[in-house]
Amino acid sequence: MKNILTGITPSGTPHIGNYIGAIKPAIEKSKSNSQDNYFYFLSDYHALVKCQDARLVEKYSLEIAATWLALGLDTSKAFFYRQSRIEETTQLSWILTCLAPKGLLNRAHAYKALVDENIQANKDKDKNISMGLFSYPILMAADILLFDTNLVPVGKDQIQHVEIARDLANYFNKTYEDILVLPEVDLACDDVLSGLDGRKMSKSYQNTIELFASEKELRKKIMKIATNSLAPGKAKDYNTCTLFKIYKEFATSGEIEEIKKAYEDGIAWGEMKNILFEKINKTLSGAREKYKYFIENKHEVENILEAGEEKTRKLAKEKLDTIKYALGLRSFC
Ligand code: ADP
Ligand code: TRP
């Protein structure tokens, strides 16, 4: 029996990259008949690092929760909750902060990239970098370690964070007692999904296709995906094509083979864009309706989350009590 855990940060409207890289594989796993435990949550404290607009944090939180539900997460089986409602997480985060070597966090990609940018621009190296951003991996380690997580299904960009969680668990086990489980990454897709401009699809690059965009918006976005200028009839390379990379995440293996052949035969970009639109639209139209329902009935979403949080808090409290005892934070009697 394994504990499998992943979080999505409500700092933007969910996009197809989030779906393929994190949500779809997570839901598929939770539907299997295994004895594993699934923990799926909204990392709303992490959102504060990127988004300081209260209305947006609320909006994105509802959207992400509605997304999980619309796509069929079985909440009677999975632990489904908001990070900010499990207070033990921030307590464990402080405990890990006291153990974490600063040098380890200096090397975290997100922090390092911003420092490098500042240096390049001849600015103070820590300009516009909050302690929240710096400590981001520690809070993520707390999310993971609090629930004895074995596997963390995430996209490639999150591997380093899971490694940091593993390192911190190791430090803890060596310093105190061997009570934290060392997590491993479960890489959802080998590569990150590309966005409209060919870079990684990401909220930060504003190149996303929203998962539940209306039909009209979906078509518009797909038509905007950058391609080369090869004319119809000219053979095309599917390996480097964003349209193909997205298509293959939605298609069956037979359909993928057919499209590969069409590329070799010189399919026109307009035609390929139509095929991609039809495929995504068909796959997601049912869930889109459910998504709309949950957005309009947010009290239902609230009730589902509150029930999940009650269930989750029990486990969190038990683990934190064990950890605090190991640290010497104990009753005198
Ligand atoms: P963003 O880059 O848009 O801010 P997040 O960092 O919130 O997305 O990612 C949430 C989850 O979705 C993570 O597990 C991440 O690895 C996955 N993910 C995000 N973008 C992609 C992508 N383009 N391809 C594959 N997975 C992705
Ligand atoms: N940092 C992750 C992201 O932005 C979200 C996240 C927070 C997470 N805590 C986590 C993912 C724990 C997996 C496990 O994508």
Q: Where are the domains of the chain?
A: 3-100+135-193+297-327, 212-291
DSSP designation for 33: S
pLDDT of residue 21: 83
User: How many C-beta neighbours within 10 Å does residue 264 have?
Assistant: 12
Task: Please give the pLDDT value at position 155.
Answer: 79
Containing 151, the helix (H) or strand (E) segment is strand 151-154
Please state the atom number of ligand 1 nearest to the C-alpha of residue 154.
Answer: 14
**Closest listed ligand to the CA of 67:** 1
Nearby residues of 204 by Cβ (< 8 Å), 6 or more positions away:
none
Chain centre to alpha carbon of residue 296: 24
Beta-ladder partners of 200: 194
Cβ of 166 below 6 Å from ligand 1: no
Q: What is the CATH number of domain 3-100+135-193+297-327?
A: 3.40.50.620
* Residue for token pair 């090869």: 230
**What separation in angstroms does the CA of 77 have from each of 6, 9, 160, 188?**
15, 22, 29, 21
Q: Give the phi and the psi of residue 89 in degrees, each rounded to 5.
A: -60, -50
The per-residue pLDDT for 165 is: 98
The Cα 138–Cα 116 span in angstroms is: 21
Of 161, 137, 192, the C-alpha closest to 15 is: 192
Q: Report how far ligand 1's centroid is from the alpha carbon of 21 (Å).
A: 6
Q: How long, in residues, is the chain?
A: 333
CA–centroid distance, 219 to ligand 2, in Å, is 30
Residue nearest atom 2 of ligand 1, based on CA coordinates:
202
CA of 136 to the centre of ligand 2 (A): 9
Pocket test for ligand 2, best of 18, 146, 154 (most atoms within 8 A of CB): 154
Label the pairing between strands 151-154 and 184-187: parallel
At residue 189, the pLDDT reads 67
Calculate how far, in angstroms, residue 249's C-alpha sits from the geometric centre of ligand 1.
15
The CATH architecture that domain 212-291 belongs to is Orthogonal Bundle (1.10)
The rounded distance, in Å, linking the Cα atoms of 305 and 7 is 14
Residuewise pLDDT in 10s, the chain (333 residues): 999 999 999 999 999 999 988 898 889 888 887 899 999 999 999 999 999 999 999 999 999 999 999 999 999 999 999 999 999 999 999 999 999 999 999 999 999 999 999 999 999 999 999 999 999 999 999 999 999 999 998 878 899 999 999 999 999 999 999 999 999 999 866 678 899 999 999 988 999 999 999 999 999 999 999 999 999 999 999 999 999 999 999 999 999 999 999 999 999 999 999 999 999 999 999 999 999 999 999 999 999 999 999 999 999 999 999 999 999 999 998
**CA atoms of 189 and 154, how far apart (whole Å):** 9
What's the whole-model pTM score?
0.92
Ligand with smallest separation from the Cα of 43: 2
**Tell me, what's the pLDDT at 29?**
85
Closest CA to ligand 2's atom 4: 9
